[in-house]
Structure 1
Amino acid sequence: MSLRTLRTPEDLIAAGLVPPAARAALTAVAARYATAIPPGMAALIEDRTDPIGLQFIPDPAELTLAAHESADPIGDDALSPIKGIVHRYPDRALLKPTLACPVYCRFCFRREHVGPDGGVLNDAELDAAIGWIADHPAIAEVILTGGDPLILSQRRLDDILSRLTAIAHVRRLRIHTRVPVVAPERITGALVETLDTETPLFIVLHANHASEFTAAAQDALARLRYGGIPVLGQSVLLRGVNDSEAALRDLFETMLACRVKPYYLHQLDPAPGTARFHVPIAEGRALLAALRGTVSGTALPHYILDAAGGKTVLG
């Protein structure tokens, strides 16, 4: 197993995840979209077409754009009043302090923006973004996303959370992250203390397959739980990854076993080059209907479609 994150076609070839003949095609993909597969995730991949390989190993199909796909499929750009902020709903705002991630999903709806070169908001940009939140008293909830906020240094994250907690009208905080499953070693006791803010804070964990919940991931989630940090789960319905009744049941029941409440199952957002992951809405509804009555109601998330006009509940 590689002891470092795989980032280049050469890394993937050396790890035996793709054949040498794929180098040229994957170099073309790498020129447009970032790759990062941490050691723990790479160790789970048996084949590039298995549920983990499909999520993280680049594919030449990513450079084929379908007619319905868009670089901004849910209309974030038009709703960004200032760098780092998206304001879609009256009482909530997204804060994107970084556009870097510990792993890059091949279906990401922000794939045209995220990457290691995305960096973090600089001090002036962060001041302006937090100032915007402070100047808008209708904002009761701030959702930290990106990128993945939990790859920020603990000092930077503590600074952001402390400043948001000091804003009287901000009553809830959320952090959307993959870190507990893809880089569980980052969930240290010190980080958990940072997350234990006076303002209620929820972690929303993105995971799409039961195999992502390794022993290390379960330990990381236990540290969050023992620290009093509630964790919700969100997933994307993906062809070849979790588009079966059995796969979804395993995913949701594994979440519950880790004290993660399944919260949202997202219909795939039509980002560029993601058509191979598409599952028709009718099929998604049928899968959720089949699960009702066969799994606990606590294991069933809301099946939703995100679009420029907001969320639509599909089932």
Structure 2
Amino acid sequence: MWSVWEYLGAAMPTLRTLEDLEREGLIVPDPRLEEAAQSLAIALTPDIVALIDRADLANDPIARQFVPSPRETEIAPEELADPIGDEARSPVKGIVHRYPDRALLKPIHVCPVYCRFCFRREQVGPGGEALSPTELDAALAYIREHGEIWEVILTGGDPLMLGSRRLRALIDALDAIPHVAIVRIHSRVPIADPGRVTAELIAALKPQRTQLWLAVHCNHPRELSAASKDALRRLSDGGLPLLSQTVLLAGINDDVDTLASLMRALVAARVKPYYLHHPDLVRGTGHFRVSIERGQALMKALRGRLSGLAQPTYVLDVPGGHGKVPIGPSYVGDDPDALLIEDAFGKQHGYPG
């Protein structure tokens, strides 16, 4: 099926409403979709829409990430509005200080696309709060006053949705804080809107003193389009070290072939796989969740297939604001008198304890 925009020979805008999605043939009307759209904003960029297999929308790993589903209206008792406890660790608006040596700074709550499993779905979207100049000053003052903060993680929202001038000013402000050594940015932009990765943006991402790392959110190998790979190349050629974050999602990437292809493709694009996140207890996202046992089995399978360079760390963000912990499989037996080590292929070997 052709998009109406292709038929007209016009550039497709970002799809932001249920009407947009219906016109493009990406949904069929369902009263429950109105409720889903109210709980989380809709945004699919032209780059993302171009990746969708319209012949199999129900199972397409790209569509399932961004197109609202009636299943989002199914709320389980254990699901939470603030699943990782940001609010409990937010001493100042825009700051989350969960670990002593690092803090999140959330300057903006707008994203190029809205992932239907987003753990900040209660906060992000058009009209969501962004920090005012006064609030940003207060957040920066908090960082200045806490000398233990060695790393600042810019998140949100998506920090790369800020204009280059504002982004440059923010990074300069962090660069001027002597005890901040690392600035890390979490972004979907290189994947979802690679055209935003301009020379001006890359120049804005170069502090004078601190080191800046960019963590790119990517969940499926098909997200690494030619345009996305080119954006990642420009970032890497510009001197920016790149990491990846992936969420383990049922029906999207919860099989070893998909994960292996994704991790290899990231490494080939000069992106070091960093985290594989166990899905959070976000309201209305039960259809995305897999068991920890399943995740551990997948990590074991990856260990036998991929080099260490392509291995992410499988982590769980403990509900209540208690931080991330690695939950990967163990390869060490629990008998101290007969220590057994399991290799990457499932065979056990004795080792002197």
Q: Give the TM bin, normalised by the shorter chain.
A: over 0.9
Secondary structure of the residue aligned to 2:147 is coil
How far apart, in 2, do the equivalents of 1:106 and 1:71 lie? 14
Any residues of structure 2 matched to 1:234-313 within 5 Å, and which? Answer: 234-307=245-318, 308-313=321-326
Deviation sequence 1:125-156 (CA, Å, 0-9, x none): 00110111011111110000000000011111
User: In the alignment, which residue of structure 1 is the partner of 2:212?
Assistant: 201
Q: Tell me the distance in 2 between the aligned counterparts of 1:37 and 1:79.
A: 31
Residue 105 of structure 1 aligns to a residue in which SS?
coil
Aligned-pair CA distance for 1:48: 4.1
What does residue range 20-39 of structure 1 map to in structure 2 within 5 Å?
A: 21-22=29-30, 24-39=31-46
Displacement of 1:32 in angstroms is 2.2
1:208 counterpart SS class: coil
Consecutive unaligned residues of structure 1, counting only runs of 5 or more, are: none
Q: Is the 8 A contact 2:165 2:204 kept in 1?
A: no
Distance in 2 (alpha carbons) for counterparts of 1:123 and 1:297: 43
Q: 1:184 aligns with which of 177, 182, 194?
A: 194
Q: Report the TM-score, using the length of structure 1 for normalisation.
A: 0.98
1-side partners of 2:194 and 2:78: how far apart? Answer: 36
Equivalent AA in structure 2 for residue 93 of structure 1: A
Once the two structures are overlaid, the 10-residue window that deviates more, 260-269 or 301-310, is 301-310
Whole-angstrom distance in 2 between the partners of 1:193 and 1:231: 16
Question: Amino acid of the residue matched to residue 90 of structure 2?
Answer: S
Contact 2:44 2:114 in 1 (8 A): yes
Q: Tell me by how many angstroms 1:311 deviates.
A: 1.2
TM-superposed deviation, 1:64: 1.4
2:83 is the alignment partner of 1:107: no
Question: Conserved in 2, the CA contact under 8 Å of 1:203 and 1:229?
Answer: yes
The range that moved more, 293-302 or 244-253, is 293-302
Residue 61 of structure 1 corresponds to 71
Q: CA deviation at 1:300?
A: 0.6
Code of the residue aligned with 2:274 in structure 1: it is: Y
Q: How far apart, CA to CA, are the structure 1 residues paired with 2:33 and 2:280?
A: 23
SS of alignment partner, residue 117 of structure 1: coil
In 2, the alpha carbon distance for the partners of 1:270 and 1:25 equals 21
Say which of 72, 76, 81 aligns to 2:86: 76
Query: 1:269 Cα shift?
Result: 0.5
Q: 2:28 matched to 1:15?
A: no
Q: For 2:44, give the aligned amino acid.
A: I
Contact 2:242–2:270 (CA under 8 A) maintained in structure 1: yes
d(CA) in 2 for partners of 1:66 and 1:251?
A: 30
Note the C-alpha offset of 1:313. 0.5
Aligned to 2:126, which of 100, 116, 126? 116
Q: Distance in 1 between matches of 2:25 and 2:181?
A: 48
Please state whether the residue corresponding to 2:246 is helix, strand or coil: strand
Distance 1:220 1:196 in 2: 16
1:14-57: CA deviation from partner (whole Å, max 9, x where unpaired): 111112x33x3322222221110000101111114310011000
User: Does the aligned pair in 2 maintain the 1:18–1:48 contact within 8 Å?
Assistant: no
Contact 2:39–2:121 (8 Å) recurs in 1: no
1:6 counterpart = 2:12: no
> Is 2:89 the partner of 1:89?
no
Displacement after TM superposition at 1:221 (Å): 0.4
Q: Is the 8 A contact 1:48 1:57 kept in 2?
A: no
State the Cα deviation string for residues 283-309 of structure 1 (Å, max 9, x = none): 000011011121111101000001121
- Is 1:44 the counterpart of 2:51 in the alignment? yes
Q: Greater shift after overlay, 204-213 or 63-72?
A: 63-72
In 1, Cα distance between equivalents of 2:164 and 2:279 = 32
Partner SS, residue 31 of structure 1: helix
- The alignment of Structure 1 onto Structure 2 pairs a total of residues equal to 313
Matched, 1:229 2:240: yes
Aligned to 2:340: none
Structure 2 letter corresponding to 1:255: L
Kindly report structure 1 stretches of 4+ aligned residues shifted beyond 2 Å: none
Partner of 2:335: none
Taking the aligned partners of 2:179 and 2:22, their CA distance within structure 1 comes to 51
Shift of residue 119 of structure 1?
A: 4.2
